[in-house]
Amino acid sequence: MASSPDGIPSPQPSRANGNINLGPSANPNARPTDFDFLKVIGKGNYGKVLLAKRKSDGMFYAVKVLQKKSILKNKEQSHIMAERNVLLKNVRHPFLVGLRYSFQTPEKLYFVLDYVNGGELFFHLQRERRFLEPRARFYTAEVASAIGYLHSLNIIYRDLKPENILLDCEGHVVLTDFGLCKEGVEPEDTTSTFCGTPEYLAPEVLRKEPYDRAVDWWCLGAVLYEMLHGLPPFYSQDVSQMYENILHQPLQIPGGRTVAACDLLQGLLHKDQRQRLGSKADFLEIKNHVFFSPINWDDLYHKRLTPPFNPNVAGPADLKHFDPEFTQEAVSKSIGCTPDTMASSSGASSAFLGFSYAPEDDDFLDC
Least confident of 87-96, 111-120, 125-134: 87-96
Q: Taking the CA of residue 117 as centre, how many other CA atoms within 13 Å lie in the half-sphere pointing to its CB?
A: 22
Please report which confidence band the pLDDT of residue 91 belongs to, taking 50, 70 and 90 as the band edges.
low
Least confident of 118-122, 163-167, 313-317, 343-347: 343-347
- What is the pLDDT averaged over residues 54-63? 94
- Residue 281: is its pLDDT beyond 60? yes
Return the pLDDT at 16.
33
Label the pairing between strands 14-16 and 47-54.
unpaired
Label the pairing between strands 19-21 and 108-113.
unpaired
Distance from chain centroid for Cα 96: 7
- Residue 27: is its pLDDT beyond 80? no
Please give the CATH topology (third level) of the domain spanning 20-117+315-351.
Phosphorylase Kinase; domain 1 (3.30.200)
- Residue 340: is its pLDDT beyond 60? no
- Pick the residue with more confidence: 47 or 279? 279
Binding-site residues, in ranges, read 73
Rounded Cα distance, 40 and 63, in Å: 10
Q: How many residues does the chain have?
A: 367
- Residue 197: is its pLDDT beyond 80? yes
Return the pLDDT at 333.
67
| Delimiting residues of CATH 1.10.510.10 domain(s) in the chain | 121-301
Active site residue 189: no
Distance from chain centroid for Cα 62: 14
Q: Could you tell me which residues are beta bridge partners of residue 351?
A: none
Return the pLDDT at 328.
87
Least confident of 80-94, 111-125, 330-344: 330-344
Superfamily holding 121-301:
Transferase(Phosphotransferase) domain 1 (1.10.510.10)
Q: Give the active site residue among 36, 57, 159, 323.
A: 159
Binding-site residues for ATP, in ranges, read 73
Mean pLDDT of the chain: 86
Per residue in 142-158, pLDDT tens? 999 999 999 999 999 99
| Delimiting residues of CATH 3.30.200.20 domain(s) in the chain | 20-117+315-351
Element (H, E) at 134: helix 133-152
- What is the pLDDT averaged over residues 189-214? 93
Please report which confidence band the pLDDT of residue 207 belongs to, taking 50, 70 and 90 as the band edges.
very high
- What is the pLDDT averaged over residues 19-30? 50
Angle value at C-alpha 364, between 359 and 367, nearest 5 degrees? 140
Angle between helices 214-229 and 121-128 (to 10 degrees): 30
